[in-house]
Structure 1
């Protein structure tokens, strides 16, 4: 539904850009191209907030506001550094109020920075590795912001015919090591990023569906 609304909004804006000044349609007196970039960041910010990823939502929102402020002079007396610092404080405040049971801890940050195993909170400013060893694997997820992550599925056993892995990558890289007997189907939305995997035409026993988004980063699938 959200993608449908965004798609219709882009089509309406495209028609406005082409037909402005004709048929009584008013002329747009603003720079349109930065506006499209801003709309993209606003969409990913809303998507992140909706999925409960508050830090990533604030990151996208800060970037959108900085671009809008520098292009359209919304608040000319506020610097980009002030916006970033205010966004960090707001993120910490909301994190305390909304998710008191998942507060950031220094030991989590140091663990990620040292590159040890990734916990349920994901990667933020660091690197790490996760091993999915579930005997009845059906769903798992990973968040990687400003860092790099590796996920190994070689000891996982899919319950049924398929499983789903949701990944949210922003300004980082994630690599998935998948058994060669699995088929990987990507449904990941990309913005200034991409997903790559080596084609394997051999017959597969199970299917792994990838969902989520990649923004300013890269997701790679390697068969083992």
Structure 2
């Protein structure tokens, strides 16, 4: 996390310097909007690289190529050819390569509990589950009597996951999301406390109904949501 803050700090300072130089006419007529977009997409690139997000990296490069298409002499490739190439490359690489990401422990989760969860490559048992959808639509149900963790992956599809029949006996659980170019809706009991630590480059979120935490369980929501939309539906 410290390294991430340092990278973003350097990018923002560089953007401030470029903005001042641009207004002083020292950058050969480079527009202020170009500087702003450069800082924005450079920040997204390094954030995606830090999180090993393939779509985030490729689309950041694509947007930078669009911004600098004239100086680079690639106007014939922008905007749609380069965006299409980024989309197809993201789809192909997402199918081939699934990087294992590491996250810091938060709140009452211990480092060992996090390590045990993120070392999971497949379904362990009915209390630690994994759902995957690629190029399709799916509906999943979690009916565990002692729900502990869920790893949900969805690429170029739509997924609905129902947790309303799951029971958390140990008062805490983790839902990890790896979502790209998709729509996902999570149906969560309104009594659960949800702590959201997801990263959402180029993505949106919405909530249906109000949560009414009763202290019975806390769920940590983590992972990467790229070019997608997540809906939290409290039931």
Q: TM-score range by the shorter chain?
A: 0.5 to 0.7
1:184 matches 2:166: no
Equivalent residue for 1:199, pick from 201, 210, 213 = 210
Q: What is the 5 A alignment of 1:94-173?
A: 95=97, 120=130, 122-173=132-183
Superposition deviation, residue 10 in structure 1: 3.8
* Secondary structure of 2:218 counterpart: strand
Deviation string 1:169-189 (CA, Å, 9 cap, x unpaired) is 333211111123312222222
1:62 matches 2:62: no
1:220 matches 2:231: yes
The runs of at least 4 consecutive aligned structure 1 residues that moved more than 6 Å come to none
**C-alpha distance in 2, partners of 1:83/1:208?**
37
Matched length? 195
Does structure 1 retain, via aligned residues, the 8 Å contact 2:190–2:212? no
**C-alpha distance in 2, partners of 1:148/1:18?**
41
Q: Report the aligned-residue RMSD.
A: 3.7
1:20 matched residue in structure 2 = 21
Q: 1:19 to 1:66 in 2, by over 3 A?
A: closer
1:38 matched residue in structure 2 = 41
Superposition deviation, residue 86 in structure 1: 8.1
Question: Larger deviation: 36-45 or 81-90?
Answer: 81-90
Does structure 2 retain, via aligned residues, the 8 Å contact 1:62–1:83? no
Please list every run of 5 or more consecutive structure 1 residues that lacks an aligned counterpart in the other structure. Answer: 50-55, 100-118
Q: 1:61 to 1:202 in 2, by over 3 A?
A: closer
**C-alpha distance in 2, partners of 1:183/1:92?**
31
Question: Larger deviation: 81-90 or 210-219?
Answer: 81-90
Q: 1:151 to 1:90 in 2, by over 3 A?
A: closer
**C-alpha distance in 2, partners of 1:82/1:173?**
20
Does structure 1 retain, via aligned residues, the 8 Å contact 2:130–2:150? no
**C-alpha distance in 2, partners of 1:86/1:206?**
40
Question: Larger deviation: 84-93 or 10-19?
Answer: 84-93
Please list every run of 5 or more consecutive structure 2 residues that lacks an aligned counterpart in the other structure. Answer: 101-128
- TM-score by structure 2 length? 0.64
Superposition deviation, residue 84 in structure 1: 4.6
1:115 matched residue in structure 2 = none
